[in-house]
Amino acid sequence: MASCFYASKIILRIVQAVFALVAFAASAYIQSKGHVEPRINFMVFTGVTAWLLAMFYAVVSCSEGLQRTFWGVVEVAVNVLWVIFWMSAAGAYAAFEKCKPSQIDVLEPFAYCNAILASQAFAWMSWLLWIPSLAISVVDMRRGEGITGGGKRYPVGTPA
Q: How many CB atoms lie within 10 A of CB 158?
A: 7
- Whole-prediction pTM value? 0.78
What are the start-end ranges of the E strands in the chain?
none
106: which DSSP letter?
S
Tens of pLDDT, residue by residue over 41-57, are: 999 999 999 999 999 88
What residues does 151 pair with on adjacent strands?
147
Using an 8 Å Cβ cutoff, are 31 and 25 in contact?
A: no
> For 122-137, what is each residue's pLDDT tens digit?
999 999 999 999 998 8
The CA-CA-CA angle for residues 15, 93, 87, to 5°, reads 55
Enumerate residues 6+ apart whose C-beta is below 8 A from 11.
none
